[in-house]
Amino acid sequence: MSVSDSLILASASPRRRDLLHQIGLTFSVAPVDIDESHRPGEPASDYVERLAREKAEAGYRQHPGHRVLGSDTTVVLDGEPLGKPVDRNDALDMLRRLSGREHEVLTGVALAGPEGTGSRQVSTRVCFRELSEDEMVAYWETGEPVDKAGGYGIQGRGGVFVSAIEGSYSNVVGLPLTETADLLAWSGVPVWQVWQTTTGEWNE
């Protein structure tokens, strides 16, 4: 695989970077700036997949000839998407609403490249135990909830709130690995080929 076909992650998320490194990939990071507004009446599943495709395609326009990975994750409670908290009060309100209840985490993932754009969307059910006010406040003060959809990170301190999950764990972190690998295989570059090299790059 030539340098012009290398992988680009259209996201600044450190969690997504860590997950791609976890499966042995070498890639560049080039976040894109798009309008992430939720359209009136748009189902959350459509929303995350649309944003993932728009991010991937915006990245591909900036870096033609590469394969560009876009992703978007949201927490859904009672049909309402919960994005990143805007401030302390918003974060605490989200955690109070999630306390003792089950919610859904949706991620859209898309890959744009010379073959076109492919996308997937994945759902995971997450159950929270009952949370006390003191621990919610203490959690906010760690700084962890600031940039997390739903105001928590399962891979960090927020993992102590989760009593059970049903579905993909990596999806809750922010990038479903099975579907990401499936998209790479669809584009002609299966992940297992990377494991046969010492550089973490694809060979022809």
**Of 5, 33, 46, 72, which is the active-site residue?**
72
Q: In Å, what is the CA distance from 169 to each residue of 19, 44, 106, 191?
A: 11, 19, 11, 19
Burial call 78-97: b when 16+ CB within 10 Å, e when fewer? eeebbbbbeeeeebbebbeb
Q: In Å, what is the CA distance from 17 to each residue of 23, 40, 107, 168?
A: 10, 31, 15, 17
- 46 annotated active-site: no
109 touches 187 (CB < 8 A): no
Amino acid at 202: W
66 touches 6 (CB < 8 A): yes
Alpha-carbon span 140 to 137, nearest angstrom: 5
Kindly report the length of the chain.
Answer: 204
**Which of the residues are catalytic?**
72
